[in-house]
Structure 1
Amino acid sequence: MSLEAIAVAPTMGTNPTGLVVVLHGWGANAKDLASLVPLLNLNKYQFLFPNAPFPHPYTSVGRMWYDLSSQEYQGIHESRQILKDWLLSLEASTGVPLSRTILSGFSQGAAMTLDVGLGLPLAGLIALSGYMHPLSQSLDEVPPVLIVHGKQDTVVPLKAAQYARDNLIALGVAVQYQEFDMGHEIRPEVLPLIQQFVTARSEER
């Protein structure tokens, strides 16, 4: 099973400098974060916004990576494999290797970013207003991680981001961590941080 995705081509040059994959949160869909592209000023990058594989139980237009209405996280194992296989297929369709691909996500999408991305040779990971699942695998590949969270987040508590930061640092992952005075959202002041992280990863490759 593949993932349907919105693709946004680079506006400068024909060959993208890199690829940025953005995973939406629980109950949203691929369109939710696509409006951020012009604001990020990453004109040489291609963006992909995939729809999560499962329909949301409470909204006809929403999707989910797994069900948050029960503690079993139903669907997480399927989503994990689907997302991994899809990411591994992207070089063939985009021409951009994983080593120049940034995986990012918001809320539940951030949790999936850390869950799947820590096991792949990606350029970097971005977790926005997210949390970290217990690790289900050993870490052979440890791309650098940017974690951004709101101090007033009432959906995913700040301590979830701090837990992720501390655990990743303990595992030897290079973590850039930033808190902002905001809730469960992406404020304009977060965008330069994302832009800097993405461009810095490209310069290292």
Structure 2
Amino acid sequence: MASIVYRPPLVFPATAAHTATVIFLHGLGDTGHGWEFAVENWRRRQRLDEVKFVLPHAPRIPITVNRGMRMPGWYDIVEMGGDSDSLRKHEDQEGILRTQKHVHELIQQEIDAGIPADRIVLGGFSQGGAVSIFAGLTAKVKLAGIVALSAYLLLSQQFASLVPKPEFNKQTPVFMGHGDADDVVHTQLGQLSQNMLKGLGYNVTIKVYDDLGHSATPEELDDVEAFLNKALPPKGKKADEKLEL
């Protein structure tokens, strides 16, 4: 495969003093621009003014189910039947681990800029949500939270052996949202992933939305906003105040 090129992410700076960051990854075939509407939604009540939003763009890679044509993707998909077996069949471990490394670098960039890890939330939709679970729970820093919409656990067979020791995110709250009419990532796969993670002791909750396909609704986005408000409560800093870490 040709060298992987990551474009600079789309960034929405905090509108008050920057005390927290949300990194949110899009799904297959999309770009960070596809989730601009969500950032606008999450900010409309002005409860997340201290939060900087980072929307990365996936590199263009050959996607097997797309006849090998290049499109934005965080990892290759060999088969897309929506069921538990097809998405996990012949998983692109190399691509998943490459993206994991990239996401961990994005997290580190925020830490280097002065934002503590426990003021960073990692999230995403579909492929991006799957990456957020995997990269978040395998991070070597304690995050504030993880959001995964219409997603599932990557490399589930090897997952337990891939988490760092000690684990930093065993108790990190993870919110999974899933539509009960999702024919791309079946609801059952999301529920199986949640059950597996809970069985391993992770703090994971899932909410299933009636008549929702492979997309997001205002209700789900409001639930994510509530999760972000709880995970990243405002520090009460004024824009001209220096943030003390």
2:186 equivalent to 1:138: no
SS of 1:103's equivalent?
A: strand
Letter in 2 for 1:29: T
- The answer on whether the counterparts of 2:6 and 2:57 sit within 8 Å (CA) in structure 1 is no
Deviation at 1:107, TM superposition (A): 0.3
**Bigger CA radius of gyration:** 2
Give the unaligned 5+ runs of structure 2.
80-89, 236-245
44-53 or 60-69, which deviates more: 60-69
Equivalent residue runs for 1:15-26 within 5 Å:
15-26=17-28
Q: Deviations over 1:89-126 (max 9, x none)?
A: 22223x31211000000000011101110022110000
Please report the RMSD computed on the Cα atoms of aligned residues, expressed in angstroms.
2.3
Q: CA deviation at 1:17?
A: 3.2
1:63 maps to 72
Distance, in Å, in 1 between the alignment partners of 2:126 and 2:144 is 20
CA distance in 1: counterparts of 2:97 and 2:181, whole angstroms: 31
Q: Indicate which of 88, 110, 117 corresponds to 2:108.
A: 88
- Provide the residue aligned with 1:192 in structure 2: 222
Of the two structures, which has the highest relative contact order with CA contacts closer than 8 Å and spacing of 6 or more? 2
In the alignment of these two chains, the number of paired residues is 202
Distance 1:175 1:72, change over 3 A: closer
Amino acid at match of 1:128: L
Q: Pick closer, same or farther for the CA change 1:54–1:77 going to 2, 3 Å.
A: farther
> Cα 1:188–1:61, aligned 2, differ >3 Å: closer, same or farther?
farther
Q: Which runs of 5+ in 1 are unaligned?
A: none
In the superposition, the TM-score normalised over structure 2's length comes to 0.75
CA distance in 2, matches of 1:60, 1:37: 30
TM-score of the aligned structures, taking structure 1 as reference length: 0.89
Query: Distance in 2 between the 1:44 and 1:203 partners?
Result: 9
Describe the superposition over 1:132-170 as per-residue Cα deviations: whole angstroms up to 9, x where unpaired: 111151350222100000000000000111011111111
